[in-house]
Structure 1
Amino acid sequence: MKRSGTGRGREWGTDPGTGWGNPPGERWITRLLVPSVALAVLAAVTVIVRNQVLHDAQLAANRAQLKRACQGLLPQDRLRPFLPDRSAGRLVEYGTVLEPGQESRALLDCRLSWDGRGTADPDGAEVRVRAEPLLRMREDTPEDSAQEGRAFPLPLPPSAVGDSETDEDETVATLLVTCPGGLVRRTGRTAELQVMVSLPLPSRGPGRDRAEVRGYRLAAARTAASVANWIAERRRCGGEPLALSGRAPTAPDPALCDWLDPAALGLGGSWQAGRDRPYRTRNGTCETRRTDLETTPERLTITSISVRSAAGAKGRQLHEQHRWYTNPPPRKDGGTVWLGGDPLDIAVWAEAVCGGERAYHRISVVPEIPPDRNGQFFLTGAERRRLADGARAVLTRYLAAGSAWPRRSHCRDTTVVEGP
């Protein structure tokens, strides 16, 4: 039944259409709540929009930083997923090629890092590029590796050596290239340039497969080649620019060691040559081992021959590693005694100028010499001279072979400097 009375329906908020109304308190709450909710929603939207604008601006700034970092040589497509949108990247870049008067051992050293929250690695990531003149060999100096997962994935000229290595967090490409024009450092002059590039890998997970890792390895290798070309151009190094595409050759160069024929050297038995390698101007290796030694061979039977040549920093390392051969061994009963149980080899050394750089050749023959009851290896003077003559015969054949390393590397002024 509808209430009646003067103004009662209106006082209670009677709805003329329904006859029902709201209490006065609810009416005022509604009037206050609706605007408050609207303001809260508007404020939240404003915050979200403002944060999104800030994040977009930060991401754009990080992309611009990535584009110009390391002289613009970084693989941007591979590194964009690492960029965070809530923090700025940190760039440190220096080197004498950027500031010629700067006291730096590096021509270029560039590091770009980011905090986490990137889509590729939430823990953060770092990129590093370093190029420097090489005066001495180091642990990170590349070798001519053919191992799966370590070989440089781009074709290289004979004047360059590279390798590539990948672990759980990063992929590293390293190059050693020749700079015929020379590079000057405070501690000396060299014709060798080493470049290292390290790129982060995406976090492990279902989205990371071998093809993706190969893509990052190739990106690191291309960056290393680009940096080497960039340095060479600015320092007028000369030499051949490195290719940024193509497949690395996998076939060895058998002609490099064809000259090492035991039968032609007057050695009997069955022999097996070591793995042939591509020709490189920096170093070359040939080796062969006798395989029919099931029974105890006669004393002084040659069981293996190895030849190694190296120029530049590799040549200096090769010479220094075996400097102990120059020390006069202790004498016993007119012969020579070597202590210990390691195989004894007789080495002949030669020095030359190859491609304008100082180089060394090392010829080594390993004879069968049973140790005496004290574990010592004993040679008479006549035996030692006989083995040394055999090593020199190998050296003579090596220097005369047209396909061997010395002729290909244009060696001249060769002299025997050490030997038994």
Structure 2
Amino acid sequence: MTVAGLASVLVAVAVTVVVQGNGGSEGGHLAANRAQLKRACGGLLPYGDLTGRVPDAVAGRVEQYGTELEPGRESRSLVNCAVTWPGHGSVRVAAVPLIGRMPASVRSEDLVPGGRGPRHEIPGLTGSETDKDDPWVLAECPAGLRGQVRRTGVMYVTALVDLPRTGALTEFRTAVHLANGIAARQKCGGPPLREPTEVVDPYKEHVTEDHTITSVGEPGRNQPKCLAVGPRSGFPGKWTTSGDLQESRLLGMCAATSSAEDPKQWDVTAISAAGWAGPVGDSAYAQYRGEGESPDFQDGRRKTTIEDTDDAGLVLWARSQCAAGPTYHQVGVGFHAEAYGDSIELTRTRRARLSADVHKAMNAYLGDPEAWPRQQHCHGTRLLGEVEGWQ
């Protein structure tokens, strides 16, 4: 969901301000537009980053609302603000308390390196950008956010900047600046988010502010936290692992593939592992359940025929108490499966072996001292059930 889309589903009253310059409609608006930018959105935009990109040709417009901008007014937004220069660009930001389902996808296949689409992230920052979702970040507020019906300690912040010489880095910096400003005003505790200095494609490249791409291979490769889903998983073969770079308490992603040249039927050739804590966990589980891919949705139903060998995978879910709160874990294994005919029939013995393999992968992931669950002090784990990829 875009920032503009988020605005459309939030019920609130918008305030519109137009700044008239002294030079009519053909320029002369620069000073007024810069002054407007500095005041807009409650003064929470990164003025130093944006002022040099403000256009002169037209007068700017501001539309804004939210409890941080209009104390006492009811709104689901902390800040929802758009500064636009018609035909010449815009800055749009939004911050909401994370209550309920996240607008952006946090499915593991959308966040793990080499997943379903191009994406960027900031090392050490919980957030992402994909071809489906505008840049977003999560900021924790340990003391909670004031003025909310339900207590929450996490805010979801997005930014979309359409100005010359800007890109993902400017957008992430804008989102971080907004999040830190709100957290400081709310006095909600915790350290501020680090100001980003570079954007990383965790699969293949670095992208600098001037859009220079510096190839660095795959910076997400072979991280210690991901060795449990590959070399230390207990499955034979040579494994290549990759993982996110976010160093987050709220989520962690890893994936591994085997380089076996001639795998045998039903060998494990791919493993994935993901963890989501607090309200992010609730969002992740809801996103999978919405697609019929949660254990309670399948509810123990079993299918003994695999029509498409690409679907020969099995996922196991678990739930723990971790540093950032109740946490969902998801571990999946992919099998080498060849159909001699139109489909594969699973015997009871074969199905039991597949189940044993996914449980083995989960145990390796939960028990490894360098993996995300142990790093987040997860305990009290209970298994929730399996999800068959061939359902």
- TM, length-normalised to structure 1: 0.67
Letter in 1 for 2:346: L
Alignment root-mean-square deviation, CA: 3.8
- CA–CA separation in structure 2 for the residues paired with 1:313 and 1:326: 23
* Residues 103-124 of structure 1: CA deviation (Å, up to 9, x unaligned): 2221001122234xxxxxxx33
Moved more, 141-150 or 381-390: 141-150
Alignment of 1:212-223 (within 5 A): 212-213=165-166, 217-223=168-174
What's the counterpart of residue 191 of structure 1? 153
In the alignment, does 2:227 pair up with 1:258?
yes
What's the counterpart of residue 33 of structure 1? none
- CA–CA separation in structure 2 for the residues paired with 1:201 and 1:226: 17
Q: Contact conserved, 1:113 with 1:125, CA < 8 A, in 2? A: yes
What's the counterpart of residue 182 of structure 1? 144
Deviation at 1:418, TM superposition (A): 1.0
What's the counterpart of residue 236 of structure 1? 187
What's the counterpart of residue 63 of structure 1? 34
Which of 106, 109, 120 matches 1:151?
A: 120
Q: Contact conserved, 2:306 with 2:345, CA < 8 A, in 1? A: yes
Which of 352, 372, 377 matches 1:385?
A: 352
Letter in 2 for 1:271: K
- TM, length-normalised to structure 2: 0.71
What's the counterpart of residue 73 of structure 1? 44
- CA–CA separation in structure 2 for the residues paired with 1:348 and 1:140: 20
- CA–CA separation in structure 1 for the residues paired with 2:25 and 2:340: 81
- CA–CA separation in structure 2 for the residues paired with 1:261 and 1:89: 53
Deviation at 1:175, TM superposition (A): 1.7
- CA–CA separation in structure 1 for the residues paired with 2:199 and 2:230: 29
- CA–CA separation in structure 1 for the residues paired with 2:305 and 2:30: 71
- CA–CA separation in structure 2 for the residues paired with 1:141 and 1:368: 27
In the alignment, does 2:339 pair up with 1:367?
no
Instruction: Please say which structure displays the higher CA radius of gyration.
Output: 1
Q: Which SS does the other structure have where 2:269 is aligned? A: strand
Q: Which SS does the other structure have where 2:228 is aligned? A: coil
Moved more, 73-82 or 226-235: 73-82
- CA–CA separation in structure 1 for the residues paired with 2:253 and 2:322: 15
- CA–CA separation in structure 1 for the residues paired with 2:78 and 2:163: 26
Moved more, 57-66 or 274-283: 57-66
Q: Contact conserved, 1:173 with 1:198, CA < 8 A, in 2? A: yes
In the alignment, does 2:358 pair up with 1:358?
no
CA, structure 1 residues 108+145, in 2 after alignment: closer, same or farther (shift >3 Å)? farther
Q: Contact conserved, 1:271 with 1:288, CA < 8 A, in 2? A: no
Q: Contact conserved, 2:227 with 2:233, CA < 8 A, in 1? A: no
Q: Contact conserved, 1:352 with 1:360, CA < 8 A, in 2? A: yes
Which of 257, 260, 271 matches 1:305?
A: 271
Q: Which SS does the other structure have where 1:402 is aligned? A: coil
Q: Contact conserved, 1:282 with 1:310, CA < 8 A, in 2? A: yes
Deviation at 1:257, TM superposition (A): 1.5
Q: Which runs of 5+ in 2 are unaligned?
A: 1-21, 203-218
Q: Which runs of 5+ in 1 are unaligned?
A: 1-50, 116-122, 166-171, 203-211
In the alignment, does 2:301 pair up with 1:329?
yes
Alignment of 1:9-408 (within 5 A): 60-76=31-47, 78-79=50-51, 82-84=54-56, 88-115=59-86, 123-134=87-98, 135-139=100-104, 150-152=119-121, 156-157=124-125, 160-163=126-129, 173-183=135-145, 188-202=150-164, 212-213=165-166, 217-244=168-195, 246-247=197-198, 251-252=219-220, 254-261=223-230, 265=234, 267-268=235-236, 270-278=237-245, 279-294=247-262, 297-298=264-265, 300-320=266-286, 321=288, 322-323=293-294, 326-330=298-302, 336-371=304-339, 373-375=341-343, 377-408=344-375
Moved more, 106-115 or 53-62: 53-62
- CA–CA separation in structure 1 for the residues paired with 2:37 and 2:157: 20
Q: Contact conserved, 1:132 with 1:193, CA < 8 A, in 2? A: yes
Q: Which SS does the other structure have where 2:282 is aligned? A: helix
- CA–CA separation in structure 1 for the residues paired with 2:158 and 2:135: 6
Deviation at 1:262, TM superposition (A): 5.2
What's the counterpart of residue 418 of structure 1? 385
- CA–CA separation in structure 1 for the residues paired with 2:327 and 2:346: 30
Q: Contact conserved, 2:144 with 2:151, CA < 8 A, in 1? A: yes
- CA–CA separation in structure 2 for the residues paired with 1:329 and 1:149: 35
* Residues 325-345 of structure 1: CA deviation (Å, up to 9, x unaligned): 7333356xxxx3345554222
Q: Contact conserved, 1:155 with 1:243, CA < 8 A, in 2? A: no
Q: Contact conserved, 2:180 with 2:193, CA < 8 A, in 1? A: yes
* Residues 300-324 of structure 1: CA deviation (Å, up to 9, x unaligned): 3323222222223442344341216
Deviation at 1:56, TM superposition (A): 9.7
Q: Contact conserved, 2:142 with 2:153, CA < 8 A, in 1? A: yes
Q: Which SS does the other structure have where 1:394 is aligned? A: helix
CA, structure 1 residues 374+248, in 2 after alignment: closer, same or farther (shift >3 Å)? closer
Letter in 2 for 1:151: H
Give % identity.
Answer: 30
CA, structure 1 residues 234+398, in 2 after alignment: closer, same or farther (shift >3 Å)? same
Q: Which SS does the other structure have where 2:311 is aligned? A: coil
